[in-house]
Amino acid sequence: MRNPNRRVDLLRRMTRLREVEQRAAALRVAEAAGLHGQLIHLHQRSGEIAAAYASHEHTHNAGDLAGRLRFLAGLQAILHETEGDRRKAERSSEEALSELKLAERRRDVVGERLVAERQAAEKQLRARDVAGPSPILARKLKG
């Protein structure tokens, strides 16, 4: 006969492991979402700066114009790179969110198994108490 308490203890440990896994996944989601938000802000701010420098009103000679155009080209490169990083961060955030959902589901499944196993162990204990002492135990006690 298998030991129901051992099985319950094993499921308790597995539940704790699943909770740790779920917390780690939640932390990854938060980090990925934070990075994604920062990249969105950086992209917007770079676009605002580029828009502000786009007009050539304050250029008085060719040197000023060339410097301004180099600056704008650098800003455009930053915008392009930031957009690529933002897309990567968005994908990473989505992957982390799917990992979190999977971890939550695993935790729920183990939790449900733990509840079922506890109930089965309690039922088995009650059935043993109702049946009285086992014949083997009675023989050992008798003689």
Q: Pick one of 1.10.357, 3.30.870, 1.25.40, 1.10.287 as the CATH number of 4-142.
A: 1.10.287
- The Cα-based distances of 25 to 7, 17, 95 in angstroms read 27, 12, 10
3 vs 12, more confident: 12
67 vs 102, more confident: 102
Compute the mean pLDDT over every residue in the chain, rounded to the nearest whole number: 85
Contacts of 104 (CB under 8 A, 6+ apart): 22, 25
Alpha-carbon distance 73 to 85, whole Å? 18
The predicted pLDDT at position 1 comes to: 44
Question: Are the CB atoms for 36 and 93 separated by under 8 Å?
Answer: yes
Give 31's pLDDT tier (boundaries 50, 70, 90). very high
Contacts of 32 (CB under 8 A, 6+ apart): 89, 92, 93, 95, 96
Check whether 78 has a pLDDT greater than 60. Answer: yes
- pTM for the model stands at 0.68
Contacts of 47 (CB under 8 A, 6+ apart): 79
60: which DSSP letter?
-
Check whether 23 has a pLDDT greater than 90. Answer: yes
Averaged pLDDT, 81-106? 92
- Domain residue spans of the chain: 4-142
